[in-house]
Chains A and B, each alone.
Chain A
């Protein structure tokens, strides 16, 4: 009888401890494009852990970081990497850097949802692929990956009427999140682009069609045979064709597809990042840890209608190992 009583007490104590461990509020800030996803995660997570309440305040990646470093949020979900200034803002307060966990792959073709960047040419252009060195040489000025800049279609191997034509460029504003990503990944973090033949595009302010810079870019390319553009898939236009990208001259060119994004073999894939506050040597807050573990689990990584893609099993495992 006494043993039973002890067992029952132990059982109650354990259950109480478990419930107490996962009781509390987790506050999530960040990119509003993740609203549906976060709502779904919260619903399932709160069902699994009834003692937990999820509060969300999704107004932007930038405002999300501010919520994190002012202690108003436990997790900031960003559709792009935190900037150096954002990391500094956090670090000068806490004296250590924010913890970054990759939680999703950006979409293949959804404007505003961290879509992979894709390089397009006019449909009349015979070119089918580029190496990363050629991409840098075309859009940049510092030719860090190759011996010189590329300014004409002939320098990319085209002949006949194409050979002497100057290449014209269409790309997102160099200072936008997308533009910064392009410069970081394709131009070795250069601050310079081949300005003269480049037209940059920003999302329209009117709000009628948010995140429409890509659409504007491809509309411009449709009217320019000698153009090359950086945009993303999902912007229907018969006059343009996406290029595959090869890591170098010896490698096979890779097209942007769901699978090449998830496997990260497509080089211009974007990532959704969760930033949180973990002092070095200390454990992450248990509720935050369990929430991120859930996000990285099969259930959390399940594909939904919002277009964000999962991490590969290996990448999810690697991120999980950060959370022990």
Chain B
């Protein structure tokens, strides 16, 4: 149980490990991934297929997740466009996917029709849209962030040293530990005794590790855990990517878990891709009294895991007006069986769960 973080791997061949963790599931922790993730996504073949609600035409200008160096979603977007064209041949596309940072700006300046972001919208982007248009931007979720794949919006995971006996944490406790404003609870949590540990742990001061607090990863945590407070625990050790002498990048998430391995009193925000034998991931609960949930693909897809991340597609829908028909149909396609199958096949995102999809479709009548 203590080595959940260590055992989670993206290997697809460890059936023995999968069996072991099926057993582990009976001990109130979610089953380990270890095995074939395809089983968890097989449900997409049973999603409702795309049925056009009318014939649409025009040009859709796509902005969003991309960069000069990496082609994050190129293959997937190509597959979507090709698949959609079979149903709606009169819709043309322009690809302007230069990065999440410019995508919302393109929407509110009228340069784009759909902004597919690489992560949740930043408060600054939402504020700017509101300032320019005097109403908020609209969105639907179109993918679940990956469990552990770089550039694919991986889930945030909380790690402690393997010597730490803590069974799990609630969001309120995370807020009390990583923040300085405890919006979710009555006070800051600064020793391990404050989260219920006893004996030699009781008076040990908690040492938090995380990403630099004003970059995108931390902005998500701020919103999801700190209820948008910007008051972080001043004991927090912050990390950014650094370049090694040999030119390779030493990822912030890797530095964080390497540091945690040396610090039994530590707690870290990172991801399992960076884990080592001396750290383990904690299951989390949204509220006290709820079961702790581990970040397995199934729990990410169902959004039961509290720090799941999602991929949104934003569009401009003035209040009282219907969604632009070509935008509506393309988004309905992304949310269909065909769209989610392409997602699974041509990207490292996870699909959306069936009920999540149903809720998104309600926004596109």
In the assembled complex, the Cα of A90 lies from the Cα of B105 at a distance in Å of 11
Q: Could you list some 20 contacts between A and B, CB below 8 A?
A: A59-B131, A62-B127, A63-B109, A63-B131, A65-B105, A66-B104, A66-B105, A66-B109, A85-B124, A89-B101, A89-B102, A92-B67, A92-B99, A92-B101, A92-B102, A93-B96, A191-B232, A192-B236, A195-B180, A195-B231
Please determine whether A62 and B124 come into contact, CB atoms closer than 8 angstroms: yes
Please determine whether A88 and B131 come into contact, CB atoms closer than 8 angstroms: no
- Tell me the minimal C-beta distance from B223 to chain A in angstroms: 13
Please determine whether B238 and A191 come into contact, CB atoms closer than 8 angstroms: yes
In the complex, A260 has a CB within 8 A of chain B: no
Please determine whether B124 and A70 come into contact, CB atoms closer than 8 angstroms: no
Please determine whether B102 and A70 come into contact, CB atoms closer than 8 angstroms: yes
Identify the interface centre among A63, A67, A72, A196: most chain B CB within 10 Å of its CB. Answer: A63
Residues of A within 8 A of B (CB): 59-60, 62-63, 65-67, 69-72, 83, 85-86, 88-90, 92-93, 95, 141, 174-175, 191-192, 194-196
Please determine whether A89 and B99 come into contact, CB atoms closer than 8 angstroms: yes
Please determine whether A86 and B232 come into contact, CB atoms closer than 8 angstroms: no
In the assembled complex, the Cα of A83 lies from the Cα of B132 at a distance in Å of 18
In the complex, B242 has a CB within 8 A of chain A: no
Please determine whether A69 and B180 come into contact, CB atoms closer than 8 angstroms: no
Q: Which residues of A contact B101 (CB under 8 A)?
A: 85-86, 88-89, 92
Binary contact readout B199-224 vs A (1 if CB under 8 angstroms, 0 otherwise): 00000000000001110000000000
Please determine whether A195 and B124 come into contact, CB atoms closer than 8 angstroms: no
Q: Which residues of B contact A88 (CB under 8 A)?
A: 99, 101
Q: Which residues of B contact A93 (CB under 8 A)?
A: 96, 98-99, 102
- Tell me the minimal C-beta distance from B237 to chain A in angstroms: 11
Complex: chain B residue closest to A142, CB-CB: B234
Q: A66-B105, A92-B101 are in contact. List 14 more A-B contacts (CB 8 A).
A: A60-B132, A62-B124, A66-B102, A67-B109, A83-B124, A85-B124, A89-B99, A89-B105, A90-B102, A92-B102, A191-B213, A191-B238, A192-B232, A192-B236
Q: Which residues of B contact A70 (CB under 8 A)?
A: 102, 105-106, 109, 111-112
B-side interface residues, number (CB < 8 Å): 33
Q: Which residues of A contact B124 (CB under 8 A)?
A: 62, 83, 85
In the assembled complex, the Cα of A179 lies from the Cα of B180 at a distance in Å of 18
Q: Top 9 closest A-B pairs, CB basis? A: A66-B105, A89-B101, A89-B102, A92-B99, A70-B111, A62-B128, A93-B98, A141-B234, A70-B109
Q: Which residues of B contact A192 (CB under 8 A)?
A: 213, 232, 234, 236
Q: Tell me whether A63 and B128 are in contact in the complex, defined as CB-CB below 8 angstroms, given that A72-B111, A195-B180 are known contacts.
A: yes
In the assembled complex, the Cα of A55 lies from the Cα of B109 at a distance in Å of 15
In the assembled complex, the Cα of A192 lies from the Cα of B213 at a distance in Å of 9
Q: Which residues of B contact A92 (CB under 8 A)?
A: 66-68, 98-99, 101-102
Q: Which residues of A contact B113 (CB under 8 A)?
A: none
Q: Which residues of B contact A195 (CB under 8 A)?
A: 180-181, 231, 234
In the complex, B292 has a CB within 8 A of chain A: no
In the assembled complex, the Cα of A119 lies from the Cα of B321 at a distance in Å of 49
In the assembled complex, the Cα of A99 lies from the Cα of B102 at a distance in Å of 17
Q: Which residues of A contact B102 (CB under 8 A)?
A: 66, 69-70, 89-90, 92-93
In the assembled complex, the Cα of A83 lies from the Cα of B122 at a distance in Å of 13
Binary contact readout B280-318 vs A (1 if CB under 8 angstroms, 0 otherwise): 000000000000000000000000000000000000000
In the assembled complex, the Cα of A194 lies from the Cα of B180 at a distance in Å of 10
Identify the interface centre among A65, A66, A95, A141: most chain B CB within 10 Å of its CB. Answer: A66
In the complex, B159 has a CB within 8 A of chain A: no
Please determine whether B108 and A63 come into contact, CB atoms closer than 8 angstroms: yes
- Tell me the minimal C-beta distance from B106 to chain A in angstroms: 5
Please determine whether B131 and A62 come into contact, CB atoms closer than 8 angstroms: yes
Please determine whether A60 and B128 come into contact, CB atoms closer than 8 angstroms: yes
Q: Which residues of A contact B112 (CB under 8 A)?
A: 70
Complex: chain B residue closest to A149, CB-CB: B234
Please determine whether B230 and A175 come into contact, CB atoms closer than 8 angstroms: yes
Q: Which residues of B contact A69 (CB under 8 A)?
A: 102, 105
In the assembled complex, the Cα of A86 lies from the Cα of B127 at a distance in Å of 14
Please determine whether B68 and A95 come into contact, CB atoms closer than 8 angstroms: yes
Complex: chain B residue closest to A92, CB-CB: B99
In the assembled complex, the Cα of A196 lies from the Cα of B235 at a distance in Å of 13
Q: Which residues of A contact B96 (CB under 8 A)?
A: 93
- Tell me the minimal C-beta distance from B118 to chain A in angstroms: 12
In the assembled complex, the Cα of A71 lies from the Cα of B110 at a distance in Å of 11
- Tell me the minimal C-beta distance from A197 to chain B in angstroms: 12
Complex: chain B residue closest to A194, CB-CB: B234
Q: Which residues of A contact B236 (CB under 8 A)?
A: 192
Complex: chain B residue closest to A70, CB-CB: B111
Binary contact readout B127-144 vs A (1 if CB under 8 angstroms, 0 otherwise): 110011000000000000
In the assembled complex, the Cα of A71 lies from the Cα of B96 at a distance in Å of 13
In the assembled complex, the Cα of A93 lies from the Cα of B101 at a distance in Å of 10
Please determine whether B128 and A66 come into contact, CB atoms closer than 8 angstroms: yes
Please determine whether B232 and A60 come into contact, CB atoms closer than 8 angstroms: no
- Tell me the minimal C-beta distance from B116 to chain A in angstroms: 15
Q: Which residues of A contact B105 (CB under 8 A)?
A: 63, 65-66, 69-70, 89
Binary contact readout B84-119 vs A (1 if CB under 8 angstroms, 0 otherwise): 000000000000101101101110111110000000
In the assembled complex, the Cα of A196 lies from the Cα of B106 at a distance in Å of 39
Complex: chain B residue closest to A196, CB-CB: B180
